[in-house]
Amino acid sequence: MARLVMKFGGTSVADLDRIRNVARHVKREVDAGHQVAVVVSAMSGKTNELVALCRGASILHDAREYDAVVASGEQVTSGLLAIALQAIGVDARSWQGWQLPIRTDGAHGAARIESIDGTRVIEQMEAGRVAVVAGFQGIGPDGRISTLGRGGSDTSAVAVAAAIRADRCDIYTDVDGVYTTDPRMVPKARRLDKVSFEEMLEMASLGSKVLQVRSVELAMVHGVRTFVRSSFEDPENPKTQPNGDPFGTLICDEDEIVEQEVVTGIAYSKDEAQISIRRVADQPGIAASVFVPLAEANINVDMIVQNVASNGAETDITFTVPAADYERAMKVIEDRKAEIGYLLLEGSTGVCKVSVIGVGMRSHAGVAAQAFKALAAKGINIRAITTSEIKISVLIEDVYTELAVRTLHSVYGLDKG
């Protein structure tokens, strides 16, 4: 018998038929003798609808009232799933985030979980009852409903799993696992049986949409083994691997992965903008005069490249920001032209970040050189480069995104099963 948390995303609970399908997935695990808690998202499209209503009521709305409105989507889903489970003979009741409670900080609309009391969920499980928890929501220090930001139900599920010391957290979604890259772009992309927490964290932060970044962070910190699988399989006859394990991708500690590939996957993000500040003085304090104001404006800076002129007196600084923050970032730099002392400010949104990820890169030389050589052979110019122990990211023109992803996927042998 295992203790499981099962999380179902918006497409998995999009309508009553799919909610009934989810109930059958839950019943399968209960019938197998497992103790089960479920975390659900709002029905597909519902959160967008609620956000639009808030904006329609007032552009400058109260963040606390916004949370009260948008959290209702998960409340509806949790109640409907509890009803559907009861209808097929599974004892269940719904729980809202504040009832457990899931305590968060006071950043309404983008709160972070501070603690969860798993006592009530454990009591329900030990009594043979399924606890259906509304994801995405908690309770802030002010005693009001708070929400965790987009994708927050993944974070709720992993946090609940950590709080109740679950054996595994199963994330059910519309794909059957984590792939070496986007299979819509590269038909030869392969599903991965296992991915380390570190690799998944990089993949999630660099463009993979399978899991929310904070959920992977939590899973890594608390050692929550997380399994990504499809909710659209036949609940009574799910696909299994040759060893009998369920079909999907296990996200786990690196020690669990016996044969580690040098490169695990290729991620890409088109949500990038490049800003270049030309001919600023090469002296202490200049970088701070650029990046401190951006930080104060809550603009996240990613890739940074600095080129010093041959005279040693001037430098160019190039960096990337999320495309949604491009206009704000340009305005911040323009407003500080006198302080920074640059000659020219340039920017572009027509860029894409492509990343090569793999923990095996730690012990293998020449991985970066392979990427640069392969891209050069295809005539793809690299605008900026960043690296870490397990990642290489390059910034290129977005028109070359598909060519770059396909090329790198092939050069590292990821399309060979």
Write out pLDDT tens, residues 388-400. 888 999 999 999 9
pLDDT of residue 132: 98
74 marked as part of a ligand binding site: yes
Q: Please give the mean pLDDT across all residues of the chain.
A: 91
pLDDT of residue 88: 98
Same domain, 68 and 201: yes
179 marked as part of a ligand binding site: yes
Cα 290 to its chain centre, rounded Å, is 28
Q: Which of 227, 255, 283 finishes a domain? A: 255
Q: What is the pLDDT of residues 84-124, one digit of tens each?
A: 999 999 999 999 999 999 999 999 998 999 999 999 999 99
pLDDT of residue 210: 79
Same domain, 242 and 289: no
Is 256's pLDDT higher than 70? Answer: yes
Q: Is 403 inside a domain boundary?
A: yes
3-state class (DSSP) for residue 231 = coil
Q: How many CB atoms lie within 10 A of CB 308?
A: 11
3-state class (DSSP) for residue 351 = strand
CA distance 394 to 268: 10
pLDDT of residue 237: 84
Is 243's pLDDT higher than 70? Answer: yes
pLDDT of residue 27: 97
B/e letters for 57-79, b = 16+ CB within 10 Å, e = fewer, are: eeeeeebeebbbbbbbbbbbbbb
The confidence band for 259, taking pLDDT boundaries of 50, 70 and 90, is: low
135 marked as part of a ligand binding site: no
User: Phi then psi for 210, rounded to 5 degrees?
Assistant: -70, -45
Q: How many CB atoms lie within 10 A of CB 53?
A: 13
159-168, 305-314, 382-391: segment of lowest average pLDDT? 305-314
148-162, 177-191, 196-210: segment of lowest average pLDDT? 196-210
32-46, 151-165, 303-317, 321-335: segment of lowest average pLDDT? 303-317
pLDDT of residue 203: 87
User: Assign residue 42 a region: left if phi > 0, alpha if psi is -120 to 50, beta otherwise?
Assistant: beta
291 marked as part of a ligand binding site: no
69 marked as part of a ligand binding site: no
CATH number at residue 70: 3.40.1160.10
Most confident of 105-114, 255-264, 297-306: 105-114
194 marked as part of a ligand binding site: no
Q: Is 96 inside a domain boundary?
A: yes
39-43, 131-135, 278-282: segment of lowest average pLDDT? 278-282
CA distance 128 to 315: 66
Q: Is 260 inside a domain boundary?
A: no
Q: How many domains does the chain have?
A: 2
CB 296 within 8 A of CB 386: no
209 marked as part of a ligand binding site: yes
8 marked as part of a ligand binding site: yes
Mean pLDDT, rounded, for 33-53: 96
Domain residue limits at 210 = 3-255
Task: Look up the pTM and report it.
Answer: 0.85
CA distance 150 to 74: 13
Same domain, 217 and 290: no
Is 60's pLDDT higher than 90? Answer: no
Q: Is 136 inside a domain boundary?
A: yes
pLDDT of residue 137: 96
Mean pLDDT, rounded, for 293-297: 91
Mean pLDDT, rounded, for 389-412: 94
Q: Which of 221, 255, 289 finishes a domain? A: 255
Mean pLDDT, rounded, for 184-192: 90
CB 121 within 8 A of CB 131: yes
Half-sphere exposure for 11 (CA within 13 Å, toward CB): 9
Same domain, 164 and 100: yes
10 marked as part of a ligand binding site: yes
Same domain, 215 and 298: no
Q: Is 191 inside a domain boundary?
A: yes
Is 312's pLDDT higher than 70? Answer: no
326 marked as part of a ligand binding site: no
Q: Percent of the chain beyond pLDDT 90? A: 70
Detail the DSSP E strand segments found in 243-337.
249-252, 265-281, 304-308, 314-322
User: Phi then psi for 381, rounded to 5 degrees?
Assistant: -85, 135
Same domain, 214 and 295: no
> At a CB cut-off of 8 Å and minimum separation 6, what does 41 contact?
7, 8, 9, 10, 12, 13, 47, 73, 74, 77, 135, 136, 153
CA distance 185 to 262: 22
Q: Which of 215, 232, 255 finishes a domain? A: 255
249-263, 335-349, 370-384: segment of lowest average pLDDT? 249-263
pLDDT of residue 8: 97
The confidence band for 331, taking pLDDT boundaries of 50, 70 and 90, is: very high
pLDDT of residue 262: 87
CB 82 within 8 A of CB 90: no
**For tokens 């509806």, what's the residue?**
76
210 marked as part of a ligand binding site: yes
DSSP 162-210: HHTT-SEEEEEESSSS-BSS-TTT-TT--B-SEEEHHHHHHHHHTT--S
CATH number at residue 379: 3.30.2130.10
Same domain, 197 and 97: yes
353 marked as part of a ligand binding site: no
